[in-house]
Amino acid sequence: MNRGVIVSDRLRKEDDLLKLDRDRLVHRFMDYISYNTQSDEENDQVYPSTPGQMVLAKHLKEELEGLGLSEVTLDENGYVMATLPANGEEGRVVGFISHMDTSPDAPGGPMHARIVENYDGKDIPLNEERKIVLSVKDFPEIAKYRGQDIMVTDGTTLLGSDDKAGVTAIVSAMEYLLQHPEVKHGKIRIAFTPDEETGRSPLKFDVKAFGADFAYTVDGGELGGLEYENFNAANPVVTIRGRSVHTGDAKGKMVNAISIASEWQEMLPEGEKPEYTEGREGFFHVYKISGTVEKCTLDMLVRDHDSEKFRKRKVYLQDMADFLNRKYGKGTVSLELIDVYFNMMDIIEKGHMDIVELARQAMKDVGVKPVELPIRGGTDGAQLSFKGLPCPNIFTGGANFHSRFEYLPLDSMEKACETVIEIACRAWKIGKK
């Protein structure tokens, strides 16, 4: 019998321990979400982008030191790292990473969270005074958590399980292993990062200092998520220059940048926009437009899992710009193509599928069915993989991220913690024969 199964059996059999773990998980999670750590995507001059993230980072550093982890560090950019030394097994070093910031897409605090015990499968009134309801009609997937305890907010803020549920799972897993030295494992590194929601988290992440052979971001959604494929991403900026003339004398003279911007939008393939795509289908997306007759700017997203299709999408945009410049005059349209991240699958499939299998088997051994789908977005693990740290993503258990309707089934967060423990206990032998 392998060591991982022994750990799994213990976790499943010791009901009292599980109850203690549940209470500690909930307490820890409630502690973390009490910190307002919304990041600011407009502030790219300071790390972290908001002061609340550094406050939580200092709190985490103190907590990790108090638990007994070693090599606990907090750098000037808000990155927390720590080590759980090996206690009997020598081999590969595994890392676990979660981010401290929460999304700016919904209010971040003050948080008023509560637990809906033994959920009955019906609509959940979040805020009777404001008539805010988490409805099964709008979010039908919640019905599958009937009979479970679910944490929600009062509907005025997000919950913060993205990614404080991940932080909770990692810290709680380390605490468990510290309290159970009979569970043998190799060296483990953990890290908590700022500004993931802005896409800037990996930029200041010191892979060399982290010192892991491979890692997992604990930053996924619902139960069972195992992700190692994400979009290739570019964020083009289109600048359109027009010519303003008094409207009474504009015929044949005015060049309206706003009208050309509308033309640009119409030239994009109709069926290749986010609202029409799913799975591995890529898209073009204009998400912001601003300007006047004289000058108009469009901010865009270009996404595709396939690297060649991704390249062709960028060529398509350049062809559009060239066409409009021929139509309206040289210099009318300028296109800045900004690559943001690439598909981690290009790295993972080249000799690292064993770490995917490790996570897959760990989930199965704690009673979780892996759900392996391509990410229609990005993850820190993508950029970290290209920086030399292969880094798939595993679930936290939360749902409706970036929303006032976010919720967290507590059973799922518990399983995330168990999965981290399972991976940690067998990661050392990856690559051993």
Tell me: do 58 and 178 sit in the same domain: yes
pLDDT of the residue at 7: 45
In angstroms, rounded to a whole number, what is the distance separating the alpha carbons of residues 194 and 47?
Answer: 8
What are the E-state strand segments in 243-401?
A: 283-291, 295-304, 333-336, 339-341, 393-395
Q: Rounded to an integer, what distance in angstroms lies between the CA atom of residue 121 and that of residue 135?
A: 10
Cα 144 to chain centroid distance, Å, stands at 23
Q: 196 CB contacts (<8 Å, ≥6 apart)?
A: 39, 99, 101, 163, 219, 380
pLDDT tens sequence across 88-105: 889 999 999 999 999 998
- What is the biggest distance separating any 2 CA atoms in the chain, rounded to whole angstroms? 86
Domain span at residue 242? Answer: 232-340
Cβ contact 95:187 at 8 Å: no
Look up the CATH number of the domain holding residue 55: 3.40.630.10
Is 99 in contact with 193 (CB distance < 8 Å)? yes
Helix (H, G, I), strand (E, B) or coil at 159: coil
Does residue 196 share a domain with residue 268?
no
So which residues are the catalytic ones?
A: 101, 196
Same domain as 195, residue 60? yes
Contact 102, 49 (CB under 8 A): no
Exposed (0-12), middle (13-18) or buried (19+): which is 34, by Cβ within 10 Å? middle
* One domain for residues 100 and 53: yes
150 and 281 housed in the same domain: no
47 in the same domain as 161: yes
Q: What is the pTM of this model?
A: 0.89
**Residue 406 corresponds to which amino acid?**
E
> Do 322 and 270 lie in a common domain?
yes
Q: Which of 315, 340, 365 is the last residue of a domain?
A: 340
pLDDT in tens, the chain (433 residues): 333 333 454 444 444 443 347 889 999 999 999 999 999 988 988 999 999 999 999 999 999 999 999 999 999 999 999 999 999 889 999 999 999 999 998 988 898 999 999 999 999 999 999 999 999 999 999 999 999 999 999 999 999 999 999 999 999 999 999 999 999 999 999 999 999 998 899 999 999 999 999 999 999 999 999 999 999 999 999 999 999 999 999 999 999 999 999 999 999 999 999 999 999 999 999 999 999 999 999 999 999 999 999 999 999 999 999 999 999 999 999 999 999 899 999 999 999 999 999 999 999 999 999 999 999 988 889 999 999 999 999 999 999 999 999 999 999 999 999 999 999 999 999 876 5
Give the chain's radius of gyration (CA, Å).
24
- Among 340, 364, 385, identify where a domain stops: 340
Question: How many domains in the chain?
Answer: 2
Element (H, E) at 346: helix 345-348
Q: Domain check: are 223 and 236 in the same one?
A: no
Residues 401 and 408: their CA atoms lie apart, in Å, by 10
Contact 166, 408 (CB under 8 A): no
Do 104 and 178 sit in the same domain of this protein?
yes
Same domain, 73 and 199: yes
Half-sphere exposure at residue 74, Cβ-oriented, CA atoms within 13 angstroms = 17
Residues 64 and 179 in one domain: yes
Distance of alpha carbon 401 from alpha carbon 254, whole angstroms:
45
pLDDT tens sequence across 409-423 = 999 999 999 999 999
* Burial profile 99-117: b = 16 or more Cβ within 10 angstroms, e = fewer: bbbbbbebebbebebeebe
> Left if phi > 0, otherwise alpha if psi is -120 to 50, otherwise beta: which for 395?
beta
Out of 295, 313, 340, a domain closes at: 340
The CATH number for 264's domain is: 3.30.70.360
pLDDT at 433: 56
Q: Are residues 150 and 136 in the same domain?
A: yes
